[in-house]
Amino acid sequence: MKCGDVYLHICDHLDEDINSERCRQIRQHLAGCPHCTEYLKSLKQTITLYRALPPPRIPAGTHRELFKTISTLTTKAAAGTPKRGRKTRKA
């Protein structure tokens, strides 16, 4: 197993049965790779911090605006760059 494989599967590793073949391979790699060990450590720290935080509260209005903005942006991105000089709104 290479570092790239560890990065790919490390998230599963956190939830997966620790005795599975893949987890054993990951553990084996981690034992000899300080880079991946460090990576896993920071990943676990991030998850711990994230879980310690209360769930975010977004006001309903902000939530709607956010989704409107996202859908507008994705629609624009899907339609491509608009042509220059073309007015879409009346002044």
**Pick 32 or 80: Cβ nearer Zn ion:** 32
- Binders of Zn ion among residues 62 to 91 (CB under 5 A) are none
Give yes or no for residue 3 binding Zn ion (CB under 5 A).
yes
In the set 10, 13, 26, 36, which binds Zn ion (CB under 5 A)? 36
In 1-91, where does DSSP find H-type helix? 3-15, 21-32, 34-52, 60-79
**Pick 24 or 68: Cβ nearer Zn ion:** 24
Give yes or no for residue 33 binding Zn ion (CB under 5 A).
yes
Q: What letters, b where the CB count within 10 A reaches 16 and e where it falls short, cover 37-59?
A: eebbeeeeeeeeeeeeeeeeeee
Shortest gap between Cβ of 54 and Zn ion (angstroms)? 34
